[in-house]
Amino acid sequence: MLAPAIEAARVASKEKGAEVTEKYMATTVCDEHHDVPVSVSKSFRVLGIRVDAVQIDDVLRQMEAWIQKWDAGHYIAVTGMHGVTEAQHDPEFAEILNSASLVVPDGYPLVVLGRWRGFPLKRRVYGPELLETFCATTTGKAYRHFFYGGAPGVASDLAQKFAQRYPDFRVAGTYCPPFRPLSAEEDREVIRLIEESRPDVLWIGLSTPKQERWMSEHRNKLSVPVMVGVGAAFDFHTGRAVQAPKWMREHGFEWLFRLATEPRRLWRRYLIFGSEFIWLVVLELLGLRKYPQPIPRSRLG
């Protein structure tokens, strides 16, 4: 769906003699919260949003490095077309994404754009796969996991399933928030609950943009080394939602499967935001729309 548009834009830009500008060049990724280099080193930008050119193995290594140092305040935005397009309508959300410790390409369109800009991205960093792979490969290391999000009972069901599936899997705690904003008192109680459980990883399943906002708001209130927003992963792993077949997930057709299974909830995301995303990306590739260099939140004011 996106690849033909990118190729057409590339041909048009060559015909116009356009040169690759600095915003398309690879840049060193830094952890903007601590202002030090992280283990992954390259990124590209899509509509003003930094996307780190990483694969799941890279993310796992970085997560473990933060945990081993007990270096608190990191959050990972697992984003795709939806998140990048949401950011076009909300400058504060764009800032939240650009201030994340990592912004990983969950969506296939971001993988295509990364490849076009010279990064050998083989696959997307799929949120549900990232969650399960981390839990499976680190099960013997006694990391403590906290699951926050989902409908009532979902987080505890997920924790139970993983505890049964993986030996020595440690659950620090679970919490399913109500479908409304928490009061200040409720939020303080949640912070207390998480802090007392001392998790190594805090998994957030609230969907975009809620989960990124929550992580950004709580990064300096919690001593957790890393928070990861994985969206619908809680529902997929507990069987409450059906994943698209693997071939669809790997070749950019997951959106079609999800639209067919949940049309009333997702039609706007895929039909309206999807079309807008393609249009804006084509304009950016043609040099007809430019975006300022993002300023990380931690360096503002």
Report whether 74 contacts 66 (CB < 8 A).
yes
CB atoms inside a 10 Å sphere around CB 288: 12
Report whether 205 contacts 231 (CB < 8 A).
yes
How high is the pLDDT of residue 295?
A: 57
How many Å apart are CA 80 and CA 154, to the nearest integer? 24
38 token code pair: 């992280």
Report whether 168 contacts 142 (CB < 8 A).
yes
- In sequence order, the β-bridge partners of residue 171 are 145
CB atoms inside a 10 Å sphere around CB 83: 27
Angle at 160 between CA 155 and CA 161, to 5 degrees: 100
- In sequence order, the β-bridge partners of residue 148 are 175, 204
Predicted TM-score (pTM) of this structure: 0.86
Length of the chain: 301
How high is the pLDDT of residue 299?
A: 35
Report whether 128 contacts 111 (CB < 8 A).
no
185 token code pair: 């008192």
Instruction: Give the rounded distance of the alpha carbon of 178 from its chain centre.
Output: 22
How high is the pLDDT of residue 293?
A: 72
Print pLDDT tens along the chain (301 aa): 555 555 555 544 444 433 333 333 333 344 444 443 444 459 999 999 999 999 999 999 999 999 999 989 999 999 999 999 999 999 999 999 999 999 999 999 999 999 999 999 999 999 999 999 999 999 989 999 999 999 999 999 999 999 999 989 999 999 999 989 999 999 999 999 999 999 999 999 998 999 999 999 999 999 999 999 999 999 999 999 999 999 999 999 999 999 999 999 999 999 999 999 999 999 999 999 998 776 554 433 3
How many Å apart are CA 101 and CA 112, to the nearest integer? 22
User: Given the structure tokens 């987080």, which residue do they identify?
Assistant: 155
Among 123, 1, 10, 114, smallest CA distance to 59 is for 123
> What is the end-to-end Cα distance of the chain in Å, rounded?
41
How high is the pLDDT of residue 38?
A: 45
